[in-house]
Amino acid sequence: MTRPVQLLLIVVLPLVIVASLVLLARSTGLVGPGAGFVMRAELPAKDAPIELPDVSGDASLPLVVIDPGHGGFDPGATAGGYVEKRLVLALAQALKEEIEAQGIARVALTRSDDRYLLHTERYRIAQRLDADLFLSIHADSAGDVSEVTGASIYTLSNEASSRAAALFATRVNASDTIGGVDLSRESDTVSDILVELSQRRTQARSVQFAEIIEREGQGTLEFHPQARRAAWLAVLRAPDIPSVLFESGFISNQDDAQRIASPEGREAFAEVMARSIRVYFLRQRDE
Ligand SMILES: [Zn+2]
- Rounded to the nearest angstrom, the distance between the alpha carbon of 275 and the centre of ligand 1 is 23
pLDDT at position 175, please? Answer: 41
Number of folded domains that form the chain: 1
For residue range 154-185, list pLDDT tens digits in order.
998 877 766 766 665 555 443 455 555 666 66
Please tell me the distance between residue 179's alpha carbon and the centre of ligand 1 in angstroms. Answer: 29
Residue 262 alpha carbon to ligand 1 centre in Å: 18
CA 35 – ligand 1 centroid, Å: 31
How far apart are the CA of 84 and the centre of ligand 1, in A?
7
C-alpha of residue 285 to centroid of ligand 1, in Å: 31
Query: Is 41 among the domain residues?
Result: no
pLDDT value, residue 173: 41
The per-residue pLDDT for 92 is 98
> Is 266 contained in some domain?
yes
Whether 223 is covered by a domain: the verdict is yes
Is residue 273 situated within a structural domain?
yes
Q: Cα(143) to centroid of ligand 1, in Å?
A: 13
Helices 84-102 & 254-261, crossing angle to 10 degrees?
A: 40
Residue 100 is assigned to a structural domain of this protein: yes
Higher pLDDT, 50 or 265: 265
Inter-residue contact 230 to 119 (CB < 8 Å): no
Domain boundaries, position 162 = 63-286
- How far, in Å, from the CA of 158 to the mean position of ligand 1? 21
Contact 232, 158 (CB under 8 A): no
Q: How far apart are CA 22 and CA 14, in angstroms?
A: 12
Which residues are within 8 A (CB) of 97 and not within 5 positions of it... i.e. 6 or more apart? 270
- Residue 263 CA, ligand 1 centroid: distance in Å: 20
Q: Would 153 be classed as within a structural domain?
A: yes
Residue 181 forms part of a structural domain: yes
Provide φ and ψ at 101, rounded to 5°.
-60, -35
User: What's the pLDDT at 38?
Assistant: 61
CATH at 267: 3.40.630.40
Tell me the average pLDDT across 54-62: 95
Is the Cβ–Cβ distance between 212 and 280 less than 8 Å?
yes
* d(CA 66, ligand 1 centre) in Å: 14
Helices (H), 103-179: 119-128, 158-171
Residue 180 lies in a domain: yes
**How buried is residue 269: exposed, middle or buried, by Cβ count under 10 Å (0-12/13-18/19+)?**
buried
C-alpha 194 to ligand 1 mean position (Å)? 32
Are the CB atoms for 239 and 163 separated by under 8 Å?
no
CA 16 to ligand 1 center in whole angstroms:
45
For residue 87, pLDDT over 80 is answered with: yes
Dump pLDDT digits (tens) for 105-153.
999 999 999 999 999 999 999 999 999 999 999 999 988 888 899 999 9
Choose between 37 and 122: higher pLDDT: 122
Ligand 1 (single-atom ion) residues, CB below 5 Å: 69, 76, 138
